[in-house]
A and B are shown apart, each in its own frame.
Chain A
């Protein structure tokens, strides 16, 4: 049981480049979310999904896109990377019932 798997673990991008952060879970969880963690700001919700085909914006969605074609996968796309997107990104999932969240190990992204 791998839980929530994020790839890559580290990434350096140049300003203006695009990339996709991958997130997969094997727990058959309906709900999945993306957070970013920044010093002094804590964790902030970017986008979330309540099931395959359904996504919605969180607190800081600008510059990011998501899609949810399967229950297992929830990729986060950076359309045109900016230095302000330098952060650690966490994917999380939870079951539809009263369970708590399981987090992935994170992707540390640097935009230069």
Chain B
């Protein structure tokens, strides 16, 4: 059974710091991995999608990496800003025929202090 773990559960940093959020998964048979951002009381906003054949994806100050063999992904946020404060969720789509179930981690709650 695929399980996704995100460490740390919460992180507080001063504005301007570069930071890394971690995501690990137990089964390397994944189709892709997606990072989301969730603001309090809001929906999920997709940040980056990495296909199983890719090593990394970049969007602005965000860079996500994927090491499928070791079951790990990281989300790197450069020059953090107070507006980056949110919960970040990692989700994997298992590579099983007909599977539509995204397996989510429980998230990392990020606070960026001015």
Contact = CB atoms under 8 A, between A and B. Distances in A.
Interface in A35-88: 35, 40, 42-43, 45, 48, 50, 56, 58-59
Q: Binding site of A, secondary structure by majority: helix, strand, loop or mixed? A: strand
Contacts, number: 51
A40 B34 CA distance: 20
A45 B101 contact: yes
Nearest to A99: B49
Interface string B85-114: 000010100000010111011110000000
B51 interface: yes
A102 B36 CA distance: 10
A57 to B, nearest CB: 10
Contacts of A102: 46
A98 B46 CA distance: 14
Contact of A58 (B43, B46, B101): B101
Contacts of A99: 49
Nearest to A50: B100
Interface residues of B, number: 21
A90 B100 contact: no
Given A40-B106, A42-B105, A103-B45, 11 more contacts: A33-B100, A43-B91, A48-B101, A56-B100, A58-B100, A90-B43, A92-B44, A101-B102, A103-B46, A105-B43, A108-B41
Interface of A: 31, 33, 35, 40, 42-43, 45, 48, 50, 56, 58-59, 90, 92, 98-106, 108
26 contacts: A33-B100, A33-B102, A40-B106, A42-B105, A42-B106, A42-B107, A43-B89, A43-B91, A43-B102, A45-B100, A50-B98, A50-B100, A56-B100, A58-B100, A90-B44, A92-B44, A92-B102, A99-B49, A100-B32, A100-B46, A102-B46, A103-B43, A103-B44, A104-B43, A105-B43, A106-B42
